[in-house]
Chains A and B, each alone.
Chain A
Amino acid sequence: MRRSLTISVLVHAGILAAAFVVLPNPEEFKVEDQESIPVDIVSIEDLRKTQATVKTPEKPAEKVAPKPVDVVKQVKPAPEVAPEIKTAAKEASAPPEPKPEPKKEEPKKEEPKPAPKPEDLAELIKKTDEPEPEKKKEEPKKAEVKPEKPVEKPPEKKPEKKLKPKKEFNPDDIAAFLNKTDDKRTAPLKQQAETGTPKQGEYNLSGIDEGVAATLRDKLRQALERCWDVPPGAREAAIVVKVHFFLNPDGTVSGMPNVVNSSSDPLFTVTAQSAVSAVMSCQAYDFLPQDKYDMWREITFTFNPNLMFPS
């Protein structure tokens, strides 16, 4: 038995040692680095302000667009490029073919970029336009290359045409949302935003900031959604109840809420009661900012089961 035991111990020790050699650290899962997308939590008021300021400077953005066209005109006579191509053209008639081809690809690759910066656009168009003077100088010198002209010219014009409509999309709109995080790209836009800041969002007649109001309304809606027990059938009947109530500064309801609208639907009374009880049971609304009490002192809230509970 002793012999067997020693054999067993030896075999175990051997296997254990082999396990440490053969089974090293398990390989890591290769996680490809994901591009991190910085996300800012923006309150509705801020969003509205940015939207409001961005909408106005559409005109300066359009001014940027025509610039490249001017650049194209300026570049056309460019004399520097000419001697290079002359020498290249002298060498062989074939080389010109491959040269323009890669350049054709360049604009294609850059097309899908969602919001090209105006400066980039100018550069891009410069690049695409560079071949133009080349060919104009080649054409007179070589009649043999003529068949190439129709092939090369259309793609040169296309990128310009395709890029222009993109500006109508107004990429600045998207950039405006990003301008909080990225400073380089939207640097010019920021200036526009600064110039637009005096507006500070749209104020309605009573002088209440719409953005802040929207945020308050959103908070209130969230609270009331939780408190409201929708009576069965109200959603199908599309009953809308408008409740008018006053709030005390501490967030409690002052007096009784009263239903503003009316309906002949038999379910309406039940729904109205449930809405009123929701307003009462949701007290106190102490999440509303104290310093803006004048904005939420008096509230008319619309209970719409179909809008409040998107299903």
Chain B
Amino acid sequence: MEVETVQNVAQGAGQLSLWHLIWNAGFVVQLVMLGLAAASVWSWAIIFEKFFVYRRTMAQSEQFEQNFWSGQSLEDLYMALGSRNNSGLAAIFMAAMREWKRSQGAASRAGFQGVQKRIEKVMDVQIQKEMGYIESRLLFLATVGSATPFIGLFGTVWGIMTSFQAIANSQNTNLAVVAPGIAEALIATALGLLAAIPATIFYNKFAADASKIGARLENFADEFSAIISRQLDERV
């Protein structure tokens, strides 16, 4: 008897590779694993995307600040940036300048009090837009980080449930009968954790980065509105 079971196990070892375990899993477990794989792919896509976007945003902001504080006239900067598709600090600057240009005719008639308010409003709106772009899809990372372990656990519980039913039907409690079903079910939890861990780590990193970028945008808007206010006062 013992010898027989040992031989059975030896023969069954070939059927225990990762691929066989996934392929022979139950329908629900396979569905869960598929969903987890998709979540992992999508979350990594977001991670790469955010990585590139943040790096670009930081670099552009750095360059723009250099140009802005270089003593160059704002008109020249406006003309230079006008043709480009701007983002970050440059986009805020452009929005403010555009509003300033538009308001000049009205300002000469109605005074400059309204102009400053309008420019600040426009800059606020532009900051919101930029932050919306920066923070987009970060929430998905947070969701993956918190939900996929549970989804994987669901797959595991379901798989173990069915394998126990199979054990009960086969009337045999031999470990060789019990083990494959459980190993198969546990893959779901492993996949859930595999998706959740990077998602959580990068969500935290990107959330911190986004708040840093947001603070930078706010600071620039405040500084720029101070400059405009000073210039308007000088005109009067």
Show the binding face of A for B, using Cβ within 8 Å: 1, 3-5, 7-9, 11-12, 19-20, 23-26, 28, 31, 33-34, 36
Contact = CB atoms under 8 A, between A and B. Distances in A.
B45 A36 contact: no
Nearest to B49: A4
A36 B2 CA distance: 8
B44 interface: yes
A4 B52 contact: yes
A2 to B, nearest CB: 9
Contact of A8 (B9, B13, B41): B41
A1 B140 CA distance: 14
B45 A25 contact: no
B18 A9 contact: no
Contact of A7 (B13, B40, B48): B48
Contact of B3 (A4, A12, A28, A36): A36
Interface of B: 2-3, 6, 9-10, 13-14, 16-19, 37, 40-42, 44-49, 52
A7 B45 contact: yes
A11 B45 CA distance: 10
A12 B44 contact: yes
A19 B2 contact: no
Contacts of A26: 16
B18 A1 contact: no
Given A3-B48, A4-B48, A28-B10, 5 more contacts: A9-B45, A12-B37, A12-B44, A24-B17, A36-B2
B206 to A, nearest CB: 13
Given A4-B45, A5-B45, A25-B13, A20 B19 contact: yes
Nearest to A29: B9
Contacts of B42: 5, 8
Nearest to A28: B13
Nearest to B52: A4
A269 B14 CA distance: 69
Given A4-B48, A31-B6, A34-B2, A25 B41 contact: no
Closest 9 CB pairs of A and B: A4-B49, A4-B48, A8-B45, A8-B44, A5-B45, A4-B45, A25-B17, A7-B48, A12-B41
Given A4-B52, A12-B37, A25-B13, A19 B18 contact: yes
B6 A25 contact: no
A23 B22 CA distance: 14
Nearest to B46: A4
26 contacts: A3-B48, A3-B49, A4-B45, A4-B46, A4-B48, A5-B41, A5-B42, A5-B45, A7-B48, A8-B47, A9-B45, A12-B44, A19-B18, A20-B18, A20-B19, A23-B18, A25-B16, A25-B17, A28-B9, A28-B10, A28-B13, A33-B3, A33-B6, A34-B2, A36-B2, A36-B3
Contacts of A33: 3, 6
A19 B13 CA distance: 18
A129 B89 CA distance: 105
Contacts of A11: 44
Contacts of B37: 12
Contacts of B45: 1, 4-5, 7-9
A245 B51 CA distance: 92
A31 B17 CA distance: 20
B41 A9 contact: yes
Most A-side CB within 10 Å, residue of B6, B14, B37, B48: B48
A215 B47 CA distance: 77
Contacts of A7: 44-45, 48
A1 B48 CA distance: 9
